[in-house]
Structure 1
Amino acid sequence: MTPYERLMSEGVPTGTFGGPRTESELRAAPAASTASQQAARRAALEQAQHGWRLPDERSERNRERTREAQRAARAGEHAAPPRHLRIVRDDTHAA
């Protein structure tokens, strides 16, 4: 038997992570939800996520950079150029 034939002889996964589905599970349609139920779920999700932030240091540095840029924009100043860029006056100093 070739590898392709062995692969094709295997059963197709059903996604149940176990035995085959019963007839009642196959016939059961998912419960329909109304627009108001969907809106209620959405509101609960948004309320749960309100104010949530990643607690790591990188995220905090990104938030601080964003706050600095916003303060500079409100004050009419230009934000500092990114640290990985430097301004070169002419081509003689470019590397």
Structure 2
Amino acid sequence: MKREKDMDRDQVLKVVCECVAVVLGVAEDELTENTHLRAEYDVDSLELTEMGARLESRFDIRLEMEDLTYFQTLGDVVARMQQRIPAEPVTA
């Protein structure tokens, strides 16, 4: 996975769509930056948690519960991922 802080929005969106599509069981091409997770797909807290786990794994980041509850649209997810992607790998 490309780890640069300057990973462009389209690249982040593609990864987000891949993760979300798996959780929702839909085709990636159904999802856009304007897709509203709750209104269009009735996403519940369990699905948000699963999405969060997939995003953490793909981007090698740590998300908090407040991040997950912030997500309304895929654009929100992309914006938060861009904020969270470190310039350097996180060491534990």
Under a length normalisation based on structure 2, what TM-score does the superposition of the two structures give? 0.21
Q: Which protein has greater RCO, CA pairs closer than 8 Å, 6+ apart?
A: 2
Q: Structure 1 or 2: larger helix share? A: 2
Bigger Rg, structure 1 or 2: 1
Under a length normalisation based on structure 1, what TM-score does the superposition of the two structures give? 0.21
